[in-house]
Amino acid sequence: MRTAVCVADALVPGPGALADRVEAFRQQYVIPPAKLEPVFRRAIAECRARTAAAMELPAGEEFHLEFVTNKPWSGYNWYQGNFHSLIQVNTELPIFIDRAIDLACHEGYPGHHVYNLMLEQHLVKDRGWREFTVYPLFSPQSLIAEGSANFGIEVAFPGEARVAFERDVLFPLAGLDPSTAERYYKVLARLDGLSYAGNEAARDYLDGRRTAAQAVDWLVSYTLTSRLRAEQRVRFFDTYRSYVINYNYGKDLVRHFVEGRGGTIQHPDVRWRVFRDLISSPRLPSGLGAMSDR
């Protein structure tokens, strides 16, 4: 974590607190409100096309997009059954350009929407296992669901594919300078290394070792987020408690499982196959194998 902070400091030089500098840097990459819907719909279309090219999706599947406010999360998938989802995006805070692909993949393709429809297709419709029409949110299943949704972003956009697509398509569509895309994602890659600090903030807050205000301060200092976003994150802790580990630990667990079976970035066909099999079958986190580095 300290290395990530040092690198971020070097990438965003200048006076003032590092968290403030990072936030000022990221504010240059906010999607203008009038551009939100076209940017998100283009991101969704690309995520779906890449997923459909690698795995067969049921006929008639679709999801609907809504923009909402006053939520403790940035995006949510409400699976409706029969291969339909409602995806909601929280516009309470400004939305950065990277969130378009993040949410389109995570909530949609090949994330939650595909995860749920694959389980419905293979377990409910094909096998008649009606118990899989019920999804217990606070269960081990969510570690795989959230982990695969996050890792699915890299499955759909391996290597430099994401930066290239955003630079050439989404940045111009949002009215942002495409020539700065590489630097933006270089900064984001370093900030991603700080995600586990959020788990520690949640642990100490939920265990009563930090107040809400102290948890906000911790998040600002150690995840380099704005105070408003840190406050929203603490509201997430209040609502979903230890669910927060599903996103980063779950992602690392799924990566370990997929790459351990040959699904590396150098072998995209194998990566898609292992990933598809994972989200199409009943699994428990214990079946994915332990990770030695966490």
Taking only the tens place, the pLDDT of each residue in 53-86 is: 999 999 999 989 999 999 999 999 999 999 999 9
The single-letter code of the amino acid at 66 is E
Residue 5, C-beta contacts closer than 8 angstroms, at least 6 positions apart: 18, 194, 222, 224
Give the chain's end-to-end CA distance (angstroms, integer).
Answer: 13
CA pair distance 189, 254, nearest whole angstrom: 19
**pLDDT digits over 139-187, tens only?**
999 999 999 999 999 999 999 999 999 999 999 999 999 999 999 999 9
3-state secondary structure of 29: helix
* Closest-CA residue to 199 (of 139, 143, 115, 254): 143
Tens of pLDDT along the chain (294 residues) come to 555 555 566 777 777 788 889 999 999 999 999 999 999 999 999 999 999 999 999 999 998 999 999 999 999 999 999 999 999 999 999 999 999 999 999 999 999 999 999 999 999 999 999 999 998 999 999 999 999 999 999 999 999 999 999 999 999 999 999 999 999 999 999 898 899 999 999 999 999 999 999 999 999 999 999 999 999 999 999 999 999 999 999 999 999 999 999 999 999 999 999 999 999 998 888 888 755 444
CA pair distance 12, 71, nearest whole angstrom: 30
Q: Residue 280 phi/psi, 5° resolution?
A: -110, 5
- The counts of H helices and E strands in the chain are 14, 3
Identify the pLDDT of residue 293: 42
The single-letter code of the amino acid at 58 is P
**Percent of the chain scored above 90 by pLDDT?**
86
CA pair distance 123, 193, nearest whole angstrom: 36
Identify the pLDDT of residue 294: 40
